[in-house]
Chain A
Amino acid sequence: MQKSSTTSQITFYLINIAISVVIIYAGLSFGGSFISPFEIFNPDNNVVALQIRLPRVLAGFMIGGGLSVVGMSFQTWFRNPLADPFILGVAGAAAVGVVVGMIFQIDSYYLSRMIVFTFSMISIALIFYISGIHKRGQGIKLILIGVGLNFFFTSVITVLHIVMSDRFSKNIILWYMGDTSSLQLRDSLVLSVFVMICSIMLIRMGKQMNLYMLGDDIAESSGLDLSRFSMKVFLLGSVITAILVTFCCSIGFIGIVVPHIAKIITGYDFRRNMPVSFFAGGIAVVLIDTFCRTAFFPREIPLGAVTALVGAPFFIHILRKGL
């Protein structure tokens, strides 16, 4: 019994990894010009396939995977199907960071990213201290604090919109749509490693999520340390979101919708639907991004602008009809 379930577990991961690799690989072929899959490692195609497309495709996969896992974890933790990775205001804080960078005219790529990351981390720390995450039944309070923070940050940005120039306004709107086209390969790799490690740590909490979902009393009396659990979900989820927001800006929709699709596919065992969520999210974003890079060439369509455009009709369709 134990052995066969381990085997099926390995098969499950191998199949998912294989599909993901194929999709990522296909993503390198398509774009402004088609490169045959057999020619990708040809030195002539080095710049286009590996320097330009690879960072973007890889980041796309991590955005989809990371945000979906965080979305699933937050929906479970808050016991709220509408929760998403940005519910605690991380994206709003990051946007303020972007604005601060613009105001002080910081041109250095890394310095401006550092500012964005610092702002998101500050908002995470703030929530951590004012909400008492470790206490029981704080879900609603946390969400409301997040809503409050989001409005606050939006307000800061709106006021600045009016005061600042048009170019500034356009830049911030573009930022909100999410953009992966300017990513360097090195950044994309670093981002992928961090997002992957944190996502694996979240996915490994599947068994605890199964218990948590049964209610606080049942979970705690069965041996789950609720405050530790909350802390881990909060920190891992926030760090993934902060990293993604720093490098790829704010990309909505995926983190709220993919978890629901994963639940429709695999049911309510979190040891299964967490990893499915990761792979499905990653694959979905790479597919959407690849399609847009190919169809709209040479225009660059920001990723965040199209995820919902393509994803929403699909989502409504499976809610109505099933898969």
Chain B
Amino acid sequence: MIEIKNLYFSYGADFSLNIEKLVIPDKGLVSIIGPNGSGKSTLLRILAGLNKKYSGSVTLDDEEYELFRHEDMASRVAYIPVYAWPDNPVTVRQLILSGAYRYGGEADISEIADRCGLSEMTEKSIYEISSGEMKRVLIARALVQKTPVIVMDEPFANLDPYYEVKIMELIREIAREKLIIAAVHNVTIASIISNCMAGIKNGKLEFILSETPSEEILKALYGTDFILVNGHPSPDYFSTTS
């Protein structure tokens, strides 16, 4: 269980993240939604232990984040950036294996590569794969790290519909056994697969809901209209046609 109390972090004079209380359960998918620049990524980086310059308290199973050493953090939380840009053209296998750094050795990645649909391309250079494949490589890497918590920054960014669906399935499956905290822009996807959705705006927590958020709540969050499609909210794209 992750618990945030009186979290405060400011970035220059213009932006501050300020969350009084947030409790995140042990398993399932928690989506963080909110407009661009609302503080989603900042919150994720704090939860992943990559940003330690905050005040207040963040605990994982009642242990303060501040007291974790790098290895402790790496054994508890894995982080998936939006994209990875390694300096050199390493292979998919090498990138996935780097998740095993904290416990050393040559882990057997074949099962995880298989699960992420990557077993055919482990010897490819990461400069040759598509962004959809890169997303899955990064997920595989996080799985190799064997942590109870995975933090994902925009797992659905830059994906075609095929990969959107593939990664939805993959994340849903992983969320049965681990806690996933993900920043998601696509509210429809978030609503379909999340166990819980947290809305952030201007660095403040607006809501945290375990049921589907209403169109009104979402309009207040984003400032644009939403409609229900199959019981899930979608931005009202059709309003632009009239």
Contacts and interface: CB of A to CB of B under 8 A. Distances in A.
Interface string A216-240: 0110111111000000000000000
A211 interface: yes
Contacts of A217: 50, 79, 81
A214 interface: yes
B50 A220 contact: yes
Given A210-B94, A224-B70, A224-B101, A215 B50 contact: no
B76 to A, nearest CB: 10
A95 B78 CA distance: 47
B29 interface: no
A218 B210 CA distance: 30
Given A2-B105, A213-B86, A214-B86, A220 B70 contact: yes
Interface string B122-157: 000000000000000000010001000000000000
Contacts of B78: 221-222
A41 to B, nearest CB: 45
B90 interface: yes
A221 B90 contact: no
Interface string B60-79: 00000000011101110111
B74 A221 contact: yes
Contacts of A269: 94
Interface string A249-291: 0000000000000010000110000000000000000000000
A22 interface: no
Interface residues of A, number: 22
Interface string B87-114: 1111000110011011001100000000
B17 interface: no
Nearest to A217: B81
Contact of B71 (A2, A213, A223): A223
Contact of B90 (A214, A222, A223, A224): A214
B106 A221 contact: no
A221 B49 contact: yes
B84 A225 contact: no
B98 A214 contact: yes
Q: How large is the interface on B (under 10, 10 to 19, 20 to 34, 35 or more residues)?
A: 20 to 34
B85 interface: yes
Interface string B158-194: 0000000000000000000000000000000000000
A222 B70 CA distance: 8
Contacts of B145: 222
B48 interface: yes
A177 B49 CA distance: 48
Interface string B39-66: 0000000001110000000000000000
A217 B48 CA distance: 10
B94 A223 contact: no
B98 A218 contact: yes
Nearest to A221: B79
A162 B141 CA distance: 60
B70 A215 contact: no
Interface of B: 48-50, 69-71, 73-75, 77-79, 81, 84-90, 94-95, 98-99, 101-102, 105-106, 141, 145
Interface of A: 1-2, 5, 76, 79, 207, 210-211, 213-215, 217-218, 220-225, 263, 268-269
Q: Pick the 6 closest A-B CB pairs, nearest first.
A: A223-B74, A221-B79, A223-B102, A268-B88, A225-B70, A222-B101
Given A218-B141, A221-B74, 6 more contacts: A2-B105, A211-B101, A215-B84, A223-B74, A263-B88, A268-B94
9 contacts: A211-B101, A213-B86, A213-B87, A214-B84, A214-B86, A215-B86, A220-B70, A222-B98, A224-B70
